[in-house]
Amino acid sequence: MSSRELSLSSWLRLALAAACVICLYWSVVADMAHDWWTYPSLSHGLLIGPLAIYLAWLRRDLTLALPAAPDSRGLVLTVVAFLLYLGGKLGAEFFLPRISLVILIAGLAWTFWGLPRLRTLGFPLLLLATMVPLPALVYKSLTGPLQLLASRTATSLVQWLGVTVYREGNIIHLSNISLGVEEACSGLNSLSALMIASLLLGFLACSRVPARLILFLLSLPLAIAVNVLRVAGTAMLADVHEEFAMGFYHSFSGWLVFVLSFALLYGLAKGLNRLSEGRRAEPAV
């Protein structure tokens, strides 16, 4: 069999596998798309898929420069993906079938193309995994502590600035109004968005893996800190002018906080990259 015939056979098998995946996961992707479109906190998922595909396309020369080496070990990952899909469907759990799609794509790439090519697609696949919403149990378990942390820290900050305020749970009591730190103000949405942004900025702006890892870890306290500032700012404005704090500022502050966080994250990415490049360029003693 000629190499051309072998290549054609491989592409036909890959096309058949892709058709099977589309038939099996059509409803799963449709459900995710409904969540992305319906819930503002998950709307970033609409961008993740096209962005991951675009990044994989940008790296196509690197991927295709490596010879295709079909590897049967990839079937293990493929079987794991199908088991997760089956377990999620039988248990009426949404997260498992959704994340199994990403695992299945990795397993098929490993099976048909080999591990070297799969490694070049590692970041697009990692980014693709971030489009899957967290399980409801995990989301609820994170929201409560983040609500309390934001309200407690914001209250301490506002008291330090001289405003009379006290807190009961996630309720901040001012002299003329009480503010509730709801789920939307817990900071979990901005935290997930900044974590994804840190992955993307680390990939684009940082040339070394340690710098990317540090940037990702810094995105967590950064997101929490700016959300605390948002809650504290709302409380201080509400103490002075209730209508202003509950009106335009409350609606606009979410976007303002994200833009500020992204700018700080971009500066950290540039600084970490310069630091890592500088250390690499230092002559050995």
Consecutive 10-residue averages of pLDDT for the chain (285 residues) = 52 75 87 87 84 90 88 91 90 88 92 90 91 81 78 82 74 71 64 85 86 89 83 73 59 71 87 77 46
Residues 97 and 13 in one domain: yes
**Contact in structure between 265 and 220 (CB atoms under 8 Å):** no
Among 76, 102, 133, the domain boundary falls at 133
Among 69, 102, 133, the domain boundary falls at 133
**Contact in structure between 281 and 258 (CB atoms under 8 Å):** no
What is the reported pLDDT for 183?
Answer: 58
Question: For residue 180, which phi and psi values (nearest 5 degrees)?
Answer: -100, 125
Residues 113 and 232 in one domain: no
CA angle, 39 then 40 then 43, to 5°: 90
Residues 141 and 267 in one domain: yes
CA angle, 266 then 269 then 270, to 5°: 90
**Contact in structure between 214 and 189 (CB atoms under 8 Å):** no
Pairing of strands 171-173, 166-168: antiparallel
**Contact in structure between 270 and 206 (CB atoms under 8 Å):** no
The pTM (predicted TM-score) of the whole model is 0.78
What is the reported pLDDT for 248?
Answer: 55
Total tally of structural domains belonging to the chain: 2
Residues 18 and 125 in one domain: yes
Among 99, 133, 167, the domain boundary falls at 133
Residues 7 and 123 in one domain: yes
What token pair was written down for 71?
């590897």
Residues 119 and 146 in one domain: no
Bridge partners (DSSP) of residue 247 are none
Residues 153 and 270 in one domain: yes
Residues 48 and 184 in one domain: no
Residues 129 and 141 in one domain: no
Residues 145 and 256 in one domain: yes
CA angle, 226 then 172 then 257, to 5°: 20
Alpha carbon distance 232, 229 (integer Å): 5
Question: For residue 167, which phi and psi values (nearest 5 degrees)?
Answer: -125, 140
Residues 166 and 102 in one domain: no
In which domain, by residue range, is 79 found? Answer: 3-133
Residues 128 and 141 in one domain: no
